[in-house]
Structure 1
Amino acid sequence: MTIGRLIAVNLVHEVIRGPTRWTAIDKRPVGGVVEVGELGLVGDRQCDTRYHGGPDKALYAYASEDAAWWADELDRDIPPGLFGENLTTSGLDITGAVIGERWRIGGPKHGILVEVRSPRTPCGNLSGRMGIHRFHHRFANTGRVGAYLKVLESGSVREGNRITVVHKPDHGPTIGQLSSGA
């Protein structure tokens, strides 16, 4: 059983005009308990619900280990939320997560149960956020894109919560394989 930690819960700080459309990619860590419903974190926002949000993309999780890889690659700081993720994790291989994998975040009484549904498909707004032309293509090609999660059981989360992989399918594509075309 894999156990990780939730190192940041990130909510929209400001809705901004990106290169392709209005975006809520500017997410930053918040303290305290944050309620989670079927459509994600209470107090968060998605601007273009054709591509973001909805039950199968209620939460976006990104691994701090992948953020550290990008920090080395780009020679810059990658703080929690910079890529627009709601949940920044530690100790979980999100790139290697199998579609259908389930995670318990927090305890069984107040925590949440989520299912890995798909990799993020980044758009030009990520390039605008990073200030790097066509960065979203480079990001996608690495397979280090993070995962969209479906909320199976609502509850609440907070920084420091334990994340336990409670179910992992025996086979199936991983986030990295689906993203990079491997």
Structure 2
Amino acid sequence: MAARVLSVNLGEARTGILKSRRTGIDKRPVDTIHVTDPGPKGVGGSGVEGDAVVNTKHHGGTTQAVYAVAREELDWWAMDTGKELGPGAFGENVTTTGFDVDAAVIGEQWRIGGSVVLSVTAPRVPCATFAAHMQVPGWVKAFTRRGRTGAYLAVLQPGTVRPDDTIEVTWRPGHGITVPMVFRAWMGDRDLARAIVDSGALLPQEHEELEAKLAKWEGAESRTS
């Protein structure tokens, strides 16, 4: 099966998922999306025009401009949970098919359709809003054990993305650090976190965040030893 876009999805800011807080995690399929670089995290929101990012401190910005998840991963979770999971169920902007999103290497570039170019930046880290949206007991722990998070992407070349657009990996760096590896590091694998920090594979913001997390772990360890 050729790698392609199955669905493109947008979310409006809504309440009712996590108490009275608004969130854009509930995304629905649309005919097309236009992607562009939204600017730094904390200033820019979603890289998808018309898509809501409410908590810009932790979501959105250049390195989380677009979120992609494989349809095959949604199918796995549908079997595991017994829930019907349509496109956008994980809050993703792009649902792929015939393409292993979770095999992506940090920094690799995807060409979608004729002109859009995206670059893989980071894994998705589960949060309370995601858990409330999924309504699956123990969701954060289950999602973490699975370790296949989909990928956040930066927009290198803006444009319009449509269902049935082809997806092609046009460049892949040689460091071999995949999205699931970064996720495991972020979730507590200290040896892997050190190796990733030392590799310099991450973009500056993600590098600084993981380095700070690692320093905190190592500081706590030294105080108890």
- TM above 0.5, yes or no, is yes
Query: Considering only CA atoms, is the larger Rg found in Structure 1 or Structure 2?
Result: 2
Equivalent in the alignment of 1:70: 77
Alignment map for 1:1-182 (pairs within 5 Å): 4-19=3-18, 21-31=21-31, 33-39=32-38, 40-107=47-114, 111-181=115-185
Contact 1:61–1:89 (Cα < 8 Å) also in 2: yes
Bigger strand fraction: 1
For structure 2, which runs of at least 5 residues remain unmatched after alignment? 39-46, 190-225
- Rounded to whole Å, the distance in 2 between the matches of 1:66 and 1:24 is 21
Query: How big is the shift at 1:174?
Result: 0.8
SS at match of 1:7: strand
SS at match of 1:41: coil
TM-score by length of 2: 0.74
- Rounded to whole Å, the distance in 2 between the matches of 1:16 and 1:145 is 24
- Rounded to whole Å, the distance in 2 between the matches of 1:15 and 1:173 is 36
TM-score by length of 1: 0.90
- Rounded to whole Å, the distance in 2 between the matches of 1:84 and 1:140 is 17
- Rounded to whole Å, the distance in 2 between the matches of 1:90 and 1:103 is 14
Identity across matched positions, percent: 41
Query: How big is the shift at 1:141?
Result: 2.4
- Rounded to whole Å, the distance in 1 between the matches of 2:61 and 2:12 is 20
Query: How big is the shift at 1:35?
Result: 1.6
Contact 1:8–1:87 (Cα < 8 Å) also in 2: yes
For structure 1, which runs of at least 5 residues remain unmatched after alignment? none
Bigger helix fraction: 2
- Rounded to whole Å, the distance in 2 between the matches of 1:137 and 1:48 is 22
